[in-house]
Amino acid sequence: MSTNRELRLGMIGGGPGAFIGAVHRLAAEMDRAFELTAGAFSSDADKSAETGQELGLDPKRVYSNWEVMLEKEASLPQETRIHAVSIVTPNHLHHPPAIAAMRAGFHVICDKPMTTSSELALEMESVANETGKIFALTHNYTGYPMVREACELVQGGAIGTVRKAYAEYLQGWLTDPLETTGQKQAEWRTDPSRSGPGGALGDIGTHAFNLLEHVIGKPVTRLAGRVETFVEGRELDDDAMVLVEMENGATGSIFCSQVCAGRENGLRLRIYGTEGGIEWDQEHPNDLLVHRKESPSEVRRTGNAYLSPASQKLGRIPSGHPEGYLEGFANLYRGFAAAIQREDITSGDFPTAADGVRGVRFIEAVLQSASENGKWVRF
């Protein structure tokens, strides 16, 4: 398969009122790595058809549900059918289509968290291994150039042995009971039947956890957590605090909250070692602050020649021009496409099924610890 050939993509979810579906569509097509060819955009056949029409798709490739899409696409000739499926549904609808898509011969890229329980996550990982299909998980912040630069510095030993690690993700959009107003994104994220057992913990806490492990390159081995639900009547947590211990003995914390009034999208990572440290703030994604023990701190910026090759390959525009959220997503889609074309997974190009299992286990471990009055849990 030629490396400059567009791959054909089918999407499950992302219909009227959806937020993340449009993001995935823009990201998938940014580098012309994929062409959106088919979709089952809603469980409502009329809404699915409406979305397909808006996107200019062949009506014959717009389906009433994902089961029909997988069956019909698998029956098409090799040169016509889709190569991969993008799953952008609420969390409880990740597992069934992902399993079915891989068994039908399609690669899968799925929004996070992977699913609603570790048992289901392990099954998804097992099917990916069994079928040999590429499974990518869109923890999109791992696709930022300066996050990749942080990985190179930390894992390359530039800050010495890691001792302390702090990740926080603070938002304020759920300070009030928005789910009672009919707001679609708030409704499903606060509904345990659709979101799973974690609220803020699953929605944004998993991002902070994934980012911390991704940059350090070492797993969290123990944690102690506390979760809160500050908004009266809300069924899931909207705030969580977690103490963590890493495999190498480093310690730190992960905080996430969606009730910090006035905060927008405050994902921040700070890691300190024996020789220095790094700090990165998602609201200023083009800057990476690097501390040195015996010299002044420096700010590294996206697009400059002094960055590592791994970081430079994720940039698209000259230094001084902002890039971030959409481009980070697009970098994961580009890595996913390259893996399909090579029929191989390159470590670091995108989060895998194993990362998805880790994220679901993180949610469960924090909730277990919280239910036991903050007892340390090994996982």
Tens-digit pLDDT profile for residues 37-54? 999 999 999 999 999 999
Q: Are residues 93 and 148 in the same domain?
A: no
Mean pLDDT along residues 136-150: 97
Residue 2: predicted pLDDT? 39
Mean pLDDT along residues 308-337: 93
Count of the separate structural domains present in the chain? 2
Q: Is 328 inside any structural domain?
A: no
We report the CATH number of the domain holding residue 310 as 3.30.360.10
Cβ 235 vs Cβ 218: under 8 Å: no
CA 247 to CA 294: how far, in whole Å?
A: 27
Q: Are residues 135 and 150 in the same domain?
A: no
Order across the sheet with 7-12: list the strands: 34-40, 7-12, 84-87, 107-110, 135-137
Would you list the DSSP string of 33-60?
SEEEEEEE--SSHHHHHHHHHHTT--GG
Neighbours of 58 (CB within 10 A): 9
The proportion of the chain whose per-residue pLDDT surpasses 70, expressed as a percent, equals: 98
Residue 18: predicted pLDDT? 87
Q: Are residues 97 and 239 in the same domain?
A: no
Kindly tell me the burial class for residue 224, based on how many C-beta atoms sit within 10 Å of its own C-beta (0-12, 13-18, 19 or more). Answer: buried
Mean pLDDT along residues 55-83: 97
pLDDT at 181 over 90: yes
Q: Is 111 inside any structural domain?
A: yes
pLDDT at 343 over 90: no
Tokens of 61: 């490739």
* Domain end point (choices 117, 140, 163): 140
CA 303 to CA 315: how far, in whole Å?
A: 6
Cβ 100 vs Cβ 123: under 8 Å: no
Read off the pLDDT band of 347 (50, 70, 90): low
* Domain end point (choices 86, 113, 140): 140
Q: Are residues 134 and 150 in the same domain?
A: no
Q: Is 343 inside any structural domain?
A: no
Q: Are residues 305 and 358 in the same domain?
A: yes
Mean pLDDT along residues 230-250: 97
pLDDT at 266 over 60: yes
CB half-sphere exposure, 364, CA atoms < 13 A: 17
Mean pLDDT along residues 177-185: 95
The domain in which residue 95 lies consists of 7-140
pLDDT at 5 over 70: no
Q: Are residues 171 and 282 in the same domain?
A: yes
pLDDT at 1 over 70: no
Tokens of 52: 């397909």
Q: Are residues 175 and 290 in the same domain?
A: yes
Nearest to 23 by CA among 230, 269, 251, 13: 13
Q: Is 228 inside any structural domain?
A: yes
Name the pTM for this structure.
0.95
Read off the pLDDT band of 6 (50, 70, 90): confident
The 3-state DSSP class for residue 151 equals helix
Q: Are residues 260 and 213 in the same domain?
A: yes
Q: Are residues 188 and 155 in the same domain?
A: yes
Mean pLDDT along residues 213-242: 98
Residue 17: predicted pLDDT? 84
Q: Is 327 inside any structural domain?
A: no
* Domain end point (choices 105, 140, 175): 140
Give tens-digit pLDDT for 184-198. 999 999 999 999 999
Tokens of 301: 């910026």
Q: Is 379 inside any structural domain?
A: no
Nearby residues of 56 by Cβ (< 8 Å), 6 or more positions away: none
Mean pLDDT of all residues in the chain? 95
Q: Are residues 117 and 88 in the same domain?
A: yes
Q: Are residues 186 and 294 in the same domain?
A: yes
Bridge partners of 267?
169
